[in-house]
Chains A and B, each alone.
Chain A
């Protein structure tokens, strides 16, 4: 059974870069879409983007200019960097794995709250 665990700072200052890592255990990192999804307080889920195991990426246009998702297959980790954050980026950030090569998500991390505040 695959497990995903997010890690990273819980507090980021405005204008700085949010950096999170998702560590994958109990499963392969090949042939899946490794995805970041966030949920601002009191709001719905927002798809941030994914990296396929081959390294190809796809980002939400609303965040594309600020987002970088990368993968380290040797460490079985993938990461999220979101630049120039503001209070609107405060959210619970989830990492998720696609169900095979489909576009829905069968495995998720429990999420980590990132607050943007000075």
Chain B
């Protein structure tokens, strides 16, 4: 299943509300996760099952959607949030990821 994220790059400032979209090539119900990636570091799970916040993840992160369209929202961008975000479907094998969205200043 192809996963397409938009935009590829997003310019934002501290305090901004940021929304990233992930579209699936077919319905994946709510079987979607979001990760944060920083260069040279392990990816970090943010959201699972489309809208469940992983333990320890700040509440400014939220996820929504079902079927083929999903969004990751950061309600008020913080300096540590400038990073790359990607989605993963786990509805059918092989699990697939979006190409990533880089949030930059």
Contacts and interface: CB of A to CB of B under 8 A. Distances in A.
A60 interface: yes
A10 interface: no
A75 interface: no
Interface in B49-105: 54, 86, 88, 90, 93-100
Contact of A44 (B31, B40, B90, B98): B98
A102 to B, nearest CB: 7
A108 B42 contact: yes
A44 B86 CA distance: 8
A103 B100 contact: no
Category for how many chain A residues contact B: 20 to 34
A7 B49 CA distance: 31
Contact of B100 (A44, A58, A60, A94): A44
B43 interface: yes
B90 A103 contact: yes
Nearest to A47: B95
B93 A110 contact: no
Contact of B94 (A61, A94, A99, A109): A61
A103 B43 contact: no
A106 interface: yes
A104 B32 CA distance: 8
29 contacts: A4-B42, A44-B97, A45-B43, A45-B88, A45-B97, A46-B97, A47-B88, A47-B94, A47-B96, A47-B97, A58-B93, A60-B94, A61-B94, A62-B94, A94-B42, A96-B43, A99-B45, A99-B48, A102-B48, A103-B31, A103-B95, A104-B88, A105-B35, A105-B43, A105-B88, A108-B42, A108-B43, A110-B41, A110-B42
Interface of B: 31, 33, 35, 40-45, 48, 54, 86, 88, 90, 93-100
Given A45-B43, A104-B88, A107-B42, 13 more contacts: A43-B99, A44-B98, A47-B88, A58-B93, A60-B94, A62-B94, A99-B45, A102-B48, A102-B90, A103-B90, A105-B33, A110-B40, A110-B41
